[in-house]
Amino acid sequence: MTLAEVAAALGLVPLMEFDPDRRVRWGFCSDLLSDVLAHAQEGDLWITHQRHLNVVAVAKLKGVAVVCVRGLRPSPEVLDKAREEGVVILTAAEDAFELAGRLYHLLVGKP
């Protein structure tokens, strides 16, 4: 699925422009940057509570887009850096458990 389709289906709010054809391979749920570095894969949609500057660096390195949960948003400084680095950040009202649940089923294709 494309990121645009996923965002629309799950009600994710993008915090910057992004390539609508960008694909979402799978999901990755973690707040531990070391785990993201170790296990996330390019094209994953990274679900996290974290929203500091290191998130941008890690997301860029791993080639993942970021969803901040529970309505959290990074600061304008972090968002500027993300735009500069070509990192896409979105936000969701749900918590990580629910968002992971909904994204999983969206990607797996079950109701």
Question: Could you tell me which stretch among 15-23, 45-53, 58-66, 84-92 binds another protein (CB under 8 A)?
Answer: 45-53
Minimum CB distance to another protein smaller for 86 or for 101: 101
CB 25 within 8 A of CB 44: yes
Please, what is the minimum distance in Å from the beta carbon of residue 17 to another protein? 26
Question: What DSSP state is assigned to residue 101?
Answer: H
Question: Considering the rule CB under 8 A, would residue 49 count as an interface residue with another protein?
Answer: yes
Question: Considering the rule CB under 8 A, would residue 31 count as an interface residue with another protein?
Answer: yes
For the stretch 38-62, what's the b/e string if a residue is b when 16 or more beta carbons lie within 10 angstroms of its beta carbon?
A: eebeebbbbbbebbeeebbebbeeb
**Residue 65 identity (one-letter amino acid):** A
Residues interacting with another protein, by CB under 8 A? 26-32, 35, 39, 47, 49-50, 70-72, 94-98, 100-105, 108, 110
